[in-house]
Structure 1
Amino acid sequence: MLYQYKALSRTGASLSGEMEAANRATVLEDLHQLGHFPIEVKELNGGPGKGRKSSSFFSGMPSSRQITLFTRELGMLLKAGLPLHQALVFLERDAESKSLGRLVGRIGNEIGSGKSLHEALEMQGDAFPLIYSKMVRVAEASGTLETVLERIAQGREKAQKLKSTALSEILYPCLLIVMAIAAVTVMLTFVVPRFKDMISNAGTQIPDQARFVIGASDWLLANWQYLLGGIAAVVLTIAVTWPKIRGEVQTLLLRVPFIGSIIQMNLTIRFCRTLGMLLENGVDLPAAMKLVSDVIGNKPAAAAIDQSYDALRKGRSFLDPLSQSGLFPPVLINMLRVGEETGSLASSLLHMAEVFEEKLERTVERTFTIFEPVIILLVSGIIAFIIVSILSAVISINDLAI
């Protein structure tokens, strides 16, 4: 099979190319033997279902929460003095799901056949992110596996808690918006048409407000299928062109009030947490920067980190490109400069991640606390406008009859 790879040399130079191998693990092993640090290995001509699979319910892979739980429990068992293979046997037997049990069993089989833990993890597809396996590799070399596993679990737990908090805050406003659209649609398609004939046949002049509401109702009843088709076409177009327009959309969202600041803080947390954990566990700064660029999940931020990586390779400070990008707060840049000068860069990054996590939680809570009454007032205003417009027309008819 043909595989495409990206790696870093011992000097920090970026390498890429293609390699024929029986499987992905062989490519990783060959790169390790050459002294390179693998960043990404993708199968180019594999058959369906081969290569790295996404971790999801439909793929039969454990969830991210289950992987975090596995990491935490494995670290605890190793810290208690159990051998790695025996700890994996216990975790396979007590796994909370069949998918997790199968995954742990596969890891145990690879360990039993002579593979190291990081090699076994790399063979499990996307269940374990590349940063995860690289940190385990460094931990195995330094003899600090149980400590590093606990740190990985702690970092994943914080990220998942932050994500859960944000989703819970967003859920209620989104539900309000959906209910608002449903309420207005029902008013225009079922309520307004009941009064239309009576108002139109009364022979009186229809007030402008009522005429507008009736016109909107008529348009919706006549064109609802085209409206649904247009929405579906827009969604499909976005889905198809997303890889091409993702960077532009992400750049645009960063400029939106409230939303932009939330995205910026989330990027800051991910950058600080990931880079800090890599540095704390022995990964050198150039390799760590390259890994962060690959997993940050935001094209503008990835471009800024790539520029920072290039500056680092040329012997300049990696903080200048980050500062010039405008994506990271000045307080972060200043703190990291101090950490760079004092040799405490990893601890500075992790401290700033904690600071911005607390700030993001407060910002999300306050932002959506403001949005909720605004949405309610807006929906109430629209429905009240429809009702008052129709009632004013009905009242004018009754006045004429009197």
Structure 2
Amino acid sequence: MARFRYKALNVSGRLLEGTMDAVSSKDVLRELDKAGFTPVSAHPVGTGDSRSWKERLTPDPKPAEITAFTLDLAMLLKGGVSLDEALVILTQMETRRWLVKLVRSLHTELSSGQSFSAVLETHPTLFPPLYVKMVEVAEMSGRLEEALTSIAAERQRIENLSKRLVSAIAYPAFLGIAAVGVLFFVLLYIIPQFEGAIQGFRDRIDGSALFVFELSEGLRAVSGYILPTLIGLLVVGLLSKRLLVGRSLGMEILSRLPFTRRLVTYTLTLTFCRTLSILLANGVDISTSLRLIGGISRVPRSAGTIDAILADVRQGTRLSQALSQRPLLPAHVVQMLRVGEESGRLSESAARVSLFYEAKLDAALARFTAVLGPVLMMSVSVLIGWLIISIMTALMSINDLLI
């Protein structure tokens, strides 16, 4: 047995934390559920990292590689191959060492009598709880191949969505970085070339031009700290990505900016409805579905709201009613989910909402890129133009004084 630290909600919706001894986190969640609590999470208490330094420095496999493994496994199962034989075949087909090692580990643990979902649960960084739960339900219903195909398709959709989000932000970010680079270059290398010409005339030149020269002097005074500062910020960013598990610093920033807040709302609605639809269609109960959705949400403060909704549902409140009482989804989305809930087709209604919001998100990303790119270009042009005009004004003022 191992010790697990858990989080759960009581009947009043209050968050409780504690520890429990169990064989796996699944057993902890099951015991909490039997006790009348709403399980939120269960993680092993730190027992030290037994990995070698080489393993620690080796980057984790990319999500797309796990998706490809899932799809290959589903295709083999669809061809009539047993799960045990499929894992053996994958070890023979694969050339990537990490994947061969992973599949062999899965095969060994599966051969010891464990279920496939229990085997996957021992690799939480590669197979998240949502993945494991869908496999667990599929094993009970004998639909493992269908579940793996559904998982692979959904992961591919999420990966494509992530690529679109990154692409939409990458171009404006590149322009912003380029603008800052040009500004630094002008202030550090161009402006100093004209300082000799204004010596003795500083009190007579225009205030805007004087500000440019003083800014250049101040920046050169701290130029030795610029590179170390940038490296430090990069290191802090990488560490925060590793340490802030379950949180997204980028999403936190985007949710606070007025021109990207709507994108975050669309992303949250799409993720909630699409995941709910898939889980319900694969036989996962509504309480477990909400718990898993709360676990994958990266939108700030949404996980706590989903936990509160889950507590309401566990007390007998209908999902649509619980959603209407919390600021999570737009009102018309809640209404559409209410219609599906009343007709017994909640999964289908959630799927329709997700398709609608996927289209809205694509359109919003296109508008965001189309507007922000030119705005940044104009800002860079105005900035460089202001620097040039300031310098020329100062030189012309000196020339007039000399004449």
Taking structure 2 as the reference length, the TM-score comes to 0.85
Cα distance 1:347–1:57, how it changes in 2: closer, same or farther (>3 A)? farther
Measure the CA separation in 1 of the matches of 2:146 and 2:91. Answer: 21
Q: What does residue 124 of structure 2 align with? A: 125
Contact 2:263 2:365 in 1 (8 A): yes
Report how far residue 341 of structure 1 moved.
Answer: 0.3
Contact 2:5 2:17 in 1 (8 A): yes
Measure the CA separation in 2 of the matches of 1:208 and 1:35. Answer: 70
Measure the CA separation in 1 of the matches of 2:44 and 2:249. Answer: 28
Q: What does residue 47 of structure 1 align with? A: 48
Question: What do the CA deviations read for 1:166-211 (whole angstroms, capped 9, x no partner)?
Answer: 1112111111111110100111111111101212246882122211
Cα distance 1:117–1:8, how it changes in 2: closer, same or farther (>3 A)? farther
Q: What does residue 148 of structure 1 align with? A: 147
Q: What does residue 222 of structure 1 align with? A: 221
Q: What does residue 165 of structure 2 align with? A: 166
Cα distance 1:96–1:14, how it changes in 2: closer, same or farther (>3 A)? farther
Q: What does residue 277 of structure 2 align with? A: 276
Contact 2:40 2:307 in 1 (8 A): no
Give the fraction of aligned pairs with identical amino acids, expressed as a percent: 34
Question: What do the CA deviations read for 1:247-284 (whole angstroms, capped 9, x no partner)?
Answer: 99977753532211001111111111222211111111
Contact 2:248 2:298 in 1 (8 A): no
Report how far residue 391 of structure 1 moved.
Answer: 1.4
**For structure 1, which segment, 248-257 or 340-349, has the greater mean C-alpha deviation from structure 2 after superposition?**
248-257
Q: What does residue 382 of structure 1 align with? A: 383
Cα distance 1:67–1:240, how it changes in 2: closer, same or farther (>3 A)? closer
**For structure 1, which segment, 320-329 or 95-104, has the greater mean C-alpha deviation from structure 2 after superposition?**
320-329
SS in 1 for 2:222: helix
Contact 2:320 2:335 in 1 (8 A): no
Contact 1:61 1:99 in 2 (8 A): no
Q: Structure 1 residue 195 and structure 2 residue 194: aligned?
A: yes
Q: What does residue 393 of structure 1 align with? A: 394
Q: What does residue 318 of structure 2 align with? A: 317
Q: Structure 1 residue 286 and structure 2 residue 275: aligned?
A: no
Counterpart AA for 2:196: D
Question: What do the CA deviations read for 1:199-255 (whole angstroms, capped 9, x no partner)?
Answer: 2246882122211111111221223456777778888889779969x7999777535
Cα distance 1:339–1:195, how it changes in 2: closer, same or farther (>3 A)? same
Report how far residue 5 of structure 1 moved.
Answer: 3.9
Q: Structure 1 residue 347 and structure 2 residue 328: aligned?
A: no
Contact 1:304 1:321 in 2 (8 A): no
Measure the CA separation in 2 of the matches of 1:315 and 1:203. Answer: 76
Q: What does residue 63 of structure 1 align with? A: 62
* 1:198-277 matched pairs, under 5 angstroms: 198-201=197-200, 205-224=204-223, 253-277=254-278
Q: Structure 1 residue 91 and structure 2 residue 90: aligned?
A: yes
Gaps of 5+ in 2: none
Number of aligned residue pairs: 391
Measure the CA separation in 2 of the matches of 1:40 and 1:59. Answer: 27
Report how far residue 119 of structure 1 moved.
Answer: 1.1
Cα distance 1:107–1:14, how it changes in 2: closer, same or farther (>3 A)? farther
Cα distance 1:162–1:207, how it changes in 2: closer, same or farther (>3 A)? same
Counterpart AA for 2:337: L
Taking structure 1 as the reference length, the TM-score comes to 0.85
Cα distance 1:33–1:286, how it changes in 2: closer, same or farther (>3 A)? closer
Measure the CA separation in 1 of the matches of 2:288 and 2:258. Answer: 34
Contact 1:28 1:38 in 2 (8 A): no
Q: What does residue 104 of structure 2 align with? A: 105
Question: What do the CA deviations read for 1:41-97 (whole angstroms, capped 9, x no partner)?
Answer: 3221412247xxxxx994454211011111112111111111111111122222352
**For structure 1, which segment, 163-172 or 293-302, has the greater mean C-alpha deviation from structure 2 after superposition?**
293-302
Cα distance 1:400–1:30, how it changes in 2: closer, same or farther (>3 A)? closer
Measure the CA separation in 2 of the matches of 1:95 and 1:14. Answer: 45
Question: What do the CA deviations read for 1:356-382 (whole angstroms, capped 9, x no partner)?
Answer: 112111101111211011101101111
Cα distance 1:105–1:35, how it changes in 2: closer, same or farther (>3 A)? farther
Contact 2:255 2:300 in 1 (8 A): no
